[in-house]
Structures are given as structure tokens and as C-alpha cells.
Homo-oligomer: A and B are copies of this chain.
Amino acid sequence: MKEPIDVAVLGATGTVGQKFVRLLEGHPMFRLSELVASERSAGRVYADVVAWKQETSLPAEAAGVVVQPLHAELSSSILFSGLDSSVAGEAEQRYADLGHTVISNASNHRMGDQVPLVIPEINPDHFDLVHHQPSPGAIITNSNCSSMFLAMALAPIHRTFGVEKVQVTTMQAISGAGYPGVASLDILGNVIPFIRNEEEKLEEEVAKILGTLSGDRVFPASFAVSAQCNRVPVYDGHTETVSVELTRNAALEEVREALSGFRGLPQERGLPSAPTAPLILVDEPDRPQPARDVWRSNGMATLIGRLRPCPVLDYKMVILGHNTVRGAAGAAILNAEAFVSLGYLPRQ
């Protein structure tokens, strides 16, 4: 067994940062050794500065770590970034310039020409973009939470039949907005039919993930995506209704098989955070449901239900995923596992 790689978490006290800390507990490839947060928290031990909001206890290995400020010099080779987008852009670049591999959940660099936006089941070849980054280190990104589940459901369909058009309506959990995030006065017994920038992210990120790498850039997939995003009073789990038009005709059963048979690099290599199957088809007519199904495969699978013909496009379905696990921190960790497994990590 290899020696674990030292990793740091940037933005360690935030919602995504906490999820990183939780998911890295006992990780077989990574050893959590540094925690970075705002100036206000720096110099104190993590247990004293974090307002821990996870369902599990604060990991002992993190509790006593002295938090460092955002500009601190770090020794970890991999930095997981749960930084807020207000500071992530500059900070992540700076750490990459210093030679670190930054695995980021922030949106700032996702659409950068030489920045891989990767879901390891779909486009691990895009990691190659790091060779074109000017830094000695690298910046790797995962997608926005709602893009993740849509890209995952579309990938085997696009690969097998081609995708022409996609309509998606999301019903997103409050945990996606961080903490304090959505005010209870705004969401209790309510639906908010708007999430800033979310529809734009969905429409452009999915096309990049399903796009084609050629030299130093990615040509986005050419299908059109139309997104309508809503916040609903659900704790964890984004539900999405999806309709898709295919390039070539396919029977319902063929589509089912493409979805249920989908596997990728994480499954082939048995990466530690990989779900057994990236897509789980559920047969009950009223599932998947966030409150009941979101933790399937430790929150790392995307669930698909109600696959059926669409009178307007070709097929429609309901998809569900855990927005703060597979849709955020878990996605970044799986990216890191894949990146390391493929031998990209610069030896130091």
C-alpha cells in the first residue's frame, strides 16, 4: 500500500469545506494535514472555530489542526478548494502558481480554456488540459451540483444515440446554498423559482463536460440545453425533470440499457469514492425522492426514475443526486482519486 498523500482543505469552515473534512476521514489515499480558512479563524484549532453542521461527529484527526489563513504557505501537494467564489479565483491561481494541485469545487475557473471540468466517469481525458496550464501546479474543477446529475444522465445517451436537445427543470435543496444561505422565511412552505446564475451554469457546463478534447482545448457538445431552476424546502438532494431529444431513434429499452450499463474509469479502477454504478435506475413509479433516496451508494450515485417517452422531445425522466456529496465535495475527491490514479500528480 502506497503512502497516503498529504492534502489540505481551503475554506475548511464553510459548508463544502466541512463536507471535505468529513469525507476525507479515514480516506485510503489522502491524509488531511492542513486546514485553511479566513483570517478570523487562523491560529486557532479547527474544533474551536468551525460551526460543525454535519450529521456525523467532527473527525478527531481534524479537530486539533491549527487553522491557517488563506495566504499561508502550504506543504500539501493536493489542495481541495471549498472557497467561496468571491475569493476562489485569485487564491486558487496563486496556489497553482506555487506548484500545488488545486482540486476545486468553486465555479471561478470551470469555464477556463485550459481548465479541466471533469466527471471521471465521463471525460477523464480532459485532465490532459493541465499540461497546457502555465503554472507548475494545476487547477482541476468539478461541475456545479445540478450540472453533475444532468451530465451523468446524458453521458451514456449522448455516447450511444447522440443528444440534440435537453429541457431540464430543477428542484434544488437548501443545502446547495451554503450556510446561512436561504432564509427560512423565504423557503418554508414555498418554492423560489430562481437561483442566480444557476441556469447559465447548467446550460454551459454540461456542454463542456460532454465536449471533445482537441489539443489544448475542449470543443463543447453542440446540443441545446434549456434549464429552469427552483429552490424547494428539501434539506439535501436535487431533483430534476429532464426531457431529451436523440440524434438517432432508440427504443425505450435501449435507452434503459445505455443508462443502467454505464460505467467509467472510477468503476474500472475501483477508486475509493466510486459508486458501484454511477447511475441507478429505480422502478417504483414515485421515486426517486430526495428524502428517501439521496444517500444511496453513500451519496455518490445519480438516480434515475420514471424513464418514459416524451410527447415533445423523445424521452423524459426524473433524476436525483446528493448535491453536497456527488454534487460538490465528493465530486472533487473522486476527481483527485482519478487524477492520482492516472499518474498525473507531479512527484514532489
* Chain A contacts to B: CB under 8 angstroms: 53, 55, 165-167, 169, 171, 174-175, 179-194, 203, 224-226, 228, 230, 232-235, 239, 241, 243, 285-292, 295, 305-306, 310-313, 316, 318
Closest to A310 in B: B226
Closest to A318 in B: B193
User: In the complex, are the beta carbons of B188 and A235 less than 8 A apart?
Assistant: yes
User: In the complex, are the beta carbons of A171 and B55 less than 8 A apart?
Assistant: no
The interface residues of chain B lying within 8 Å CB-to-CB of A232 are 171, 191, 232-233
Total copies of this chain within the assembly: 4
**Residue in B166, B188, B190, B290 whose beta carbon sits within 8 Å of that of A191 in the complex:** B290
Looking at the assembled complex, report how far the CB atom of A177 sits from the nearest CB atom of chain B, in whole angstroms.
8
User: In the complex, are the beta carbons of A186 and B184 less than 8 A apart?
Assistant: yes
User: In the complex, are the beta carbons of A193 and B292 less than 8 A apart?
Assistant: no
- Bound Cα distance from A306 to B291, whole angstroms: 29
Looking at the assembled complex, report how far the CB atom of A60 sits from the nearest CB atom of chain B, in whole angstroms.
16
17 A–B contacts, CB within 8 A, in A order: A53-B185, A174-B188, A179-B183, A181-B184, A182-B184, A188-B291, A189-B235, A190-B291, A191-B239, A192-B286, A193-B289, A193-B305, A226-B243, A226-B313, A226-B316, A230-B241, A233-B234
User: In the complex, are the beta carbons of A306 and B183 less than 8 A apart?
Assistant: no
The interface residues of chain B lying within 8 Å CB-to-CB of A186 are 180, 184
- Bound Cα distance from A287 to B191, whole angstroms: 9
Extra inter-chain contacts (6) besides given A180-B186, A230-B239, CB under 8 Å: A55-B292, A167-B312, A181-B183, A189-B290, A224-B311, A233-B233
**Residue in B193, B239, B312 whose beta carbon sits within 8 Å of that of A239 in the complex:** B193
Looking at the assembled complex, report how far the CB atom of A53 sits from the nearest CB atom of chain B, in whole angstroms.
7
User: In the complex, are the beta carbons of A243 and B167 less than 8 A apart?
Assistant: yes
Looking at the assembled complex, report how far the CB atom of A74 sits from the nearest CB atom of chain B, in whole angstroms.
29
Closest to A286 in B: B194
- List 3 tightest A-B contacts by C-beta distance, closest first: A180-B183, A190-B291, A169-B169
User: In the complex, are the beta carbons of A184 and B193 less than 8 A apart?
Assistant: no
- Bound Cα distance from A165 to B314, whole angstroms: 13
User: In the complex, are the beta carbons of A190 and B289 less than 8 A apart?
Assistant: yes
**Residue in B185, B192, B241 whose beta carbon sits within 8 Å of that of A174 in the complex:** B185
- Bound Cα distance from A125 to B183, whole angstroms: 41
